[in-house]
Amino acid sequence: MTIAEAQEQIIRLKREHGICILAHSYQAREIIEVADHTGDSYKLSVAAAGDEKSVAIMCGVRFMAETVKLLSPEKTVYLANADAGCPMADGLSAERLRAAQAKYPGCVTVCYINTTAEVKTLSDVCVTSSSAVKIIRAMPETEILFVPDCNLGAYVAAQVPEKTIRLISGGCPIHAAVSADDVAAARRAHPEALLLVHPECVPDVTSRADYVGSTSGIYDFAVSSEKKEFIIGTEISIAEHLQYARPDKKFYPLTKKLMCHNMKLTTLMDVYNCVLTASCVREADKQITMSPETIMKARRCIDEMIRLGGK
């Protein structure tokens, strides 16, 4: 089967069986092309909730499929490759979070959306990388335990100095691997380019950037800017997607280290096999399942984010 033939079959099957395909922006082009919705994890969960189809397939990592299920408990949700996990989300267990909460008893817990559903059940407010600063500013509380990404947490703390933000070790190993030396090398190679970076990068990197923002923030900034060259400091796929969106501009990955192998685990044939599974047998063991109690408790921190103005 060729890529084009696989894509044709996926599109036919998803239409015939009422299946919605969600592709995170870090997925490969051939997967993005067959998706109904693309974007970051929260945007995909909201899009799935607003989509009338009763089955959703997430092409991304496990916490993203869980978030789809939290916002659409009535839907059947699959993860296209069941082995695709996120080291940042998986690195924070409920036990570790409980220990941190015991250490900082006066703090409310703010979790990044890149967390398991179990961790969300123990959190007060959820944030995304684009909403974190706004939400934490809007919260009445001044003592905050921010988990699990200490780099995003440090970035937020610098923007909201009036609050005390406690951090624990943890974060995205892909973004955290970028160094100030990588920035210097990219600046030397592309002296005319603006540097746009994700707040999951270390402070040594974010402090040297021309723009710091979420994946969608970086994308929108680069597309709409009058500038013509950009060094992209987030997962390597974004530079590629931007190049398709604006062939008149130039986009350079900040470093080749910015490749998430967990995101790249999902192949087009995984999507094809998942669409086949979803359309024929609806195999229960491949679905994302949670107890009604977990869904109810984990949703509360997302609802609180929405109440505080997060989108």
The site for ligand SF4 (CB under 6 A) is made up of: 61, 86-88, 114, 172-174, 235, 260, 262-263
Instruction: Decide whether 172 or 178 has the Cβ nearer to ligand SF4.
Output: 172
| Distance separating alpha carbons of residues 79 and 77, to the nearest angstrom | 7
Reading the block at residue 218, the tokens are 């970086």
88-108 in b/e form (b: 16+ CB < 10 A) is: bbbbbeeebbeebbeeeeebb
Q: How far is the CB of 210 from ligand SF4 (least distance, A)?
A: 22
Q: How far is the CB of 247 from ligand SF4 (least distance, A)?
A: 26
Instruction: Decide whether 141 or 204 has the Cβ nearer to ligand SF4.
Output: 204
Instruction: Decide whether 73 or 85 has the Cβ nearer to ligand SF4.
Output: 85
| Distance separating alpha carbons of residues 68 and 62, to the nearest angstrom | 10
Reading the block at residue 261, the tokens are 């192998």
What amino acid is encoded at 233 in this protein?
G
31-55 in b/e form (b: 16+ CB < 10 A) is: bbbbbbbbbbbbbbbbbbeebebeb
Instruction: Decide whether 86 or 301 has the Cβ nearer to ligand SF4.
Output: 86
Instruction: Decide whether 164 or 267 has the Cβ nearer to ligand SF4.
Output: 267
Residue 61, Ramachandran bin (φ over 0: left; ψ between -120 and 50: alpha; else beta): beta
The DSSP result for 14-48, as a single string, is HHHTTEEEEEETTS-HHHHTT-SEEE-HHHHHHHH
Instruction: Decide whether 71 or 172 has the Cβ nearer to ligand SF4.
Output: 172
Instruction: Decide whether 182 or 235 has the Cβ nearer to ligand SF4.
Output: 235
Q: How far is the CB of 266 from ligand SF4 (least distance, A)?
A: 11
| Distance separating alpha carbons of residues 125 and 145, to the nearest angstrom | 10
Contact 158, 217 (CB under 8 A): no
What radius of gyration do the chain's Cα atoms show?
Answer: 19
- 82 DSSP 8-state letter: T
Q: How far is the CB of 67 from ligand SF4 (least distance, A)?
A: 12
Q: How far is the CB of 96 from ligand SF4 (least distance, A)?
A: 17
Q: How far is the CB of 237 from ligand SF4 (least distance, A)?
A: 10
Q: How far is the CB of 169 from ligand SF4 (least distance, A)?
A: 15
Q: How far is the CB of 121 from ligand SF4 (least distance, A)?
A: 20
Instruction: Decide whether 7 or 60 has the Cβ nearer to ligand SF4.
Output: 60
| Distance separating alpha carbons of residues 35 and 241, to the nearest angstrom | 14
